[in-house]
Structure 1
């Protein structure tokens, strides 16, 4: 019993010490540190070929990461892709000081929230995390436009559509009410006449988009870019 009590006390001490460290607390709260290798790859690329300030920064989860030819899709713009697949909103917030602020972008185009909801987050949680991302970016870039791409409806996550729709509505209302925030509605264009995700826009996993899906995104996003 004494040994068990001693072990329990040790665990409590370790947890208390961890929570007093902002970095450790962030790890416990978000798990964002799992993306450290991805972020280091971005930093290595930046060191080898430093991006000029003023690019349009695309950031977020796999829908951004998989958009390998995003720069070619906007040939008259200077575009930088810093998506890392599987990430959630909090992950971009966590690393904003390293993969957002240093670029001094002319605009941030942000897609995340899809994985959050798949992980069981509510619409309110997704909205709160979006607001936290905006607040974090504003510390370094107070007037840089942030364009949020609505959470896309996909065939593999059709059961989550009600939560996605609610989260999109909350974010849209917030963006409309605040300066330098934009909401880009791709979601409604990715639904068929019966309100179901358009299967022809997706690859075999029914989650990630094919060229047709990205063509739809390109046409919808282009008018918003500076």
Structure 2
């Protein structure tokens, strides 16, 4: 009887696990954002930076764009679909003036195809525009990191697909950081990255600031 009960409990647990959203892992991080918003309400009409660790680790983003109201809602390790799934909680409440997205890097690492990433970006645009029609969205191209050099061809293909999609959409911009981060040999350069070869150092962010600033300034007014 005890063995049967144990098996039943195990099966029930598996059913519950199977029924959980694949995005549920991020619930604590999203809840932390919401708690922060309650304690310190963020400004309306800000430029929202959202996506994976390249955004999360950008702790100085507000100081780097001092004349712009900025909100950082990056959560490291996330995939593009996670930002879409939680958009009703970490996009809609802010009614951002514009959105800067960096995601897709982890998607490729976890086996998504370039076409899937492009389609997931299109879904993100559709979702955020269901809250704020016409909100400008910038896709920061997937960076060519040393740690993921083996994915370079897929990264390039994904960027090309997103660039082509963005060209068909009003107010959707592809911002190329991929090309400037490559060396003369068209390979990733360690100088932009920390010791892990994946997350950027200050030089990497300085490069991004120079590239992003014209778009951010133009859409912050």
Mark yes or no: TM-score above 0.5: yes
Q: Note if 1:223 corresponds to 2:214.
A: yes
Q: 2: CA distance between counterparts of 1:138 and 1:106?
A: 12
Counterpart-to-counterpart distance in 2, 1:52 and 1:123: 35
Deviation (angstroms), 1:120: 1.1
TM-aligned CA deviation for residue 130 of structure 1: 0.9
Q: Secondary structure at the match of 1:116?
A: helix
Distance 1:72 1:139 in 2: 30
Q: Secondary structure at the match of 1:155?
A: coil
Give, in whole Å, the separation in 2 of the partners of 1:52 and 1:219: 24
Q: Name the SS of the counterpart of 1:156 in structure 2.
A: coil
Map 1:101-112 onto structure 2 (within 5 A). 101-112=92-103
Asked if 1:189 is matched to 2:212, the reply is no
Q: In the alignment, what sits opposite 2:24?
A: 33
Aligned equivalent of 1:155, options 146, 155, 161? 146
Q: Deviations over 1:150-203 (max 9, x none)?
A: 000000101101101011011111111111111110000000011011110100
Separation of aligned partners in 2, 1:63 and 1:100: 18
Displaced runs of 4+ in structure 1, greater than 2 A?
none
Name the structure 2 match of 1:199: 190
The 2-side partners of 1:139 and 1:101 are apart by 9
SS in 2 for 1:147: strand
- Matched with 1:57 is 48
Q: Are positions 1:173 and 2:175 aligned together?
A: no
The one of 128, 131, 143 equivalent to 2:122 is: 131
CA distance in 1, matches of 2:208, 2:73: 17
TM-score normalised by length of structure 2: 0.90
* 1:78 paired residue number: 69
1:141, CA displacement in angstroms?
1.3
- Which residue is equivalent to 1:119? 110
Q: Note the residue ranges of structure 2 that are not aligned, 5 or more in a row.
A: none
Where structure 1 has 5 or more consecutive residues not aligned to the other structure, the ranges are 19-23
Give the 3-state SS of the residue equivalent to 2:148 in structure 1.
Answer: helix
User: What is the CA deviation profile of residues 97-144 of structure 1, one whole-angstrom value per residue up to 9, with x for unaligned ones?
Assistant: 000011000000000000000111111111111111111111111111
1:33-92 CA distance string (max 9 Å, x none) = 101010011000100111121000000000000000001101111111000000000100
2:86 to 82, 90, 95: 95
The TM-score normalised by the length of structure 1 is: 0.88
